[in-house]
Amino acid sequence: MKKRKLGNLEVSAIGMGCMGMSHATGTPMDMDEAARVIREAVDVGYTFFDTAKNYGYKDDPHHNEKILGKALSGIRHQVVIASKCGVDFDYAVNPEVPPLLYDSSREGIRKSIEGSLKRLNTDYIDLYFQARIDPKVEPEEVAETMAELIREGKILHWGISEVNEEYLRRANAVCPVTAVENGYNIIRRDHEPLIPFLEEHGIGWVAYTPMFKGLLTGTFHKGAQFTRDDWRSRLVNDQNLDRYHDLIEYLAVLGEEKNATPGQLSLAWILHKKPYLVPIPGMRSRARLEENAKAADIVLTPEEVARIDQLAVSAQE
């Protein structure tokens, strides 16, 4: 697969978002099966794997990191691992849709990194994200802690997820940020005002939910049903299927012309926007791994990108 740069960190042009194997997309995968899929991803050409300490479920809150630790044993040097700290799920309040508990204190981050290193079966994490802004902790304190971890060799780079420009500016002034991880896709574009700052400081962008929780794949129809703990229901619903019908239809027609699926075109659209954007779709099978990898080779014309943009904007007016 083609490569891209997040700051000076080289990764596959499309990364693998691993959360869905353990959390938010229905029944968690069996650990052995999930590890096999991740090994297959390496065979296909993926080198960038995104996880977090809290990607799990009530009975195994750290399920996802354990999967990667098992899957990447023996081939750790071939891949780039991103994990996260700063949040946990409060399963005591709601085991199906738990609220977040925030802790980006120095002590909280240090406790998190030690647990993640053990579960991932590694001495270092390539890219360590603060998962969400903690209103109780100033960005300078978080950045200072990350700088300590870099000096100690426990992490190589750091970043912030769902960050705004003010917070990013303050944190970056203390310890340079390699990448942000913010939601981004054809429909969700509220973080685009960050782009001038990212470009000024050479910061990459890891784009999660690149297919709008599957809505942009064109595979869902009105009446789709999800379990309560499946986060796709928040976006894949009858209202949005109606609202974005013309956009989804255009992706299907364009896909026929290019021998591509709407999901592949959604990834290609992101790749065409900026050279430092790296989408991380969730995948649970080799077929999906191979399909999404091919998106890196799709060429969209400026006119096609503009038409996609126009349909997305029109649907939101």
Report pLDDT for 231: 61
Query: Is residue 225's pLDDT more than 80?
Result: no
Token code pair at residue 181: 């991880």
d(CA 76, CA 69): 9
Report pLDDT for 230: 64
Query: Is residue 310's pLDDT more than 80?
Result: yes
Report pLDDT for 229: 63
Report pLDDT for 95: 83
225 burial (CB, 10 Å; 0-12 / 13-18 / 19+) is: exposed
Does residue 116 sit in helix, strand or coil?
helix
User: Are 40 and 32 in contact, with CB atoms under 8 Å apart?
Assistant: no
Report pLDDT for 226: 61
- Alpha-carbon dihedral 98, 99, 104, 110, rounded to 10 degrees: -10
Query: Is residue 78's pLDDT more than 90?
Result: yes
d(CA 260, CA 216): 13
Query: Is residue 227's pLDDT more than 80?
Result: no
At 178-198, the pLDDT tens digits run 999 999 999 999 999 999 999
Confidence of residue 104 (pLDDT cuts 50, 70, 90): very high
Mean predicted confidence (pLDDT) in 55-65: 95
By annotation, the residues acting in catalysis are 55
d(CA 279, CA 267): 7
Could you tell me what percent of the chain has a pLDDT over 90? Answer: 86
Mean predicted confidence (pLDDT) in 274-294: 97
At 107-165, the pLDDT tens digits run 999 999 999 999 999 999 999 999 999 999 999 999 999 999 999 999 999 999 999 99
Q: What is the largest CA-CA distance in the chain?
A: 54
